[in-house]
Homo-oligomer: A and B are copies of this chain.
């Protein structure tokens, strides 16, 4: 999909995301969106598409680091619970509790009993959140292995993206089928009426982002809230220019 096309299609969605955020703030709604999927699928870009025009004091992105040893010994969901939203907040999880059913299972970081227990607990855990009134959305971003290979190669060659190429990614490319199996087991166990999964094709990332954002907006109820009137009288004097006494600004970036 061409950038121009994308921008044209995304523009009204951005406005609707802002409307959604105002609605959440005004009505105290709590929104949680999980972004899961293949390595390289484009989770980061999708999260940016949702969050870029929103207030960072309202919309939090949660990208947890590897658990500490103490955290590993706790109830599995504990460190995620800490980031669930208060009234009016939107939380986007860049990977989530589903790590256990994906990378941890495939790479052997969790044993079979742990994975099985997770697949049993996740629906019950999510039911509690949903029954409590949290709006929970779960997206899984798919991509063919050919695309994945191309993107991995791009990461290898693009200095801006090289940090994204983790040893786990490299292992993951050899376990494409194991990840597929893990996803199917995950869907089987956790695609529930109260917290369904939505799968989105991210072979074309721009189109994938449009599809995801459109779907998210469609699943929400009517989010229109009349914004408050703002009184914006004319200034009663000439606008002032900056004046600096203690310290001056540094030289501007040079333009030839």
Contacts and interface: CB of A to CB of B under 8 A. Distances in A.
A135 interface: no
A94 B58 CA distance: 13
Contact of A125 (B128, B165, B177): B128
Contacts of A71: 86
Contact of A144 (B53, B81, B125, B241): B241
Contacts of A30: 73-74
Given A44-B56, A232-B170, A144 B184 contact: no
Q: Give the bracket for the number of chain A residues in contact with chain B.
A: 35 or more
Contact of A207 (B69, B174, B252): B252
B55 A250 contact: no
Given A75-B134, A78-B81, A65 B61 contact: no
Contacts of A207: 252-253, 255
Greatest chain B CB density within 10 A among A145, A187, A246 is at A246
A53 B241 contact: no
Contacts of A61: 56
A197 interface: yes
A253 B12 CA distance: 14
26 contacts: A18-B162, A19-B159, A22-B163, A30-B73, A44-B56, A48-B52, A53-B160, A53-B161, A56-B63, A57-B64, A70-B86, A70-B87, A73-B86, A76-B132, A78-B82, A120-B131, A124-B127, A144-B239, A145-B240, A177-B240, A184-B245, A184-B246, A198-B250, A201-B252, A207-B255, A215-B250
Interface of A: 1, 5, 9, 14-15, 18-19, 21-22, 25, 28, 30, 44, 48, 52-57, 61, 63-65, 68-71, 73-78, 81-82, 84-88, 94, 117, 120-121, 124-125, 127-129, 131-132, 134, 142-146, 148-149, 152-153, 156, 159-165, 170, 173-174, 176-177, 180, 184, 187-188, 191, 197-201, 204, 207-208, 210-211, 214-215, 227, 230-232, 235, 239-253, 255
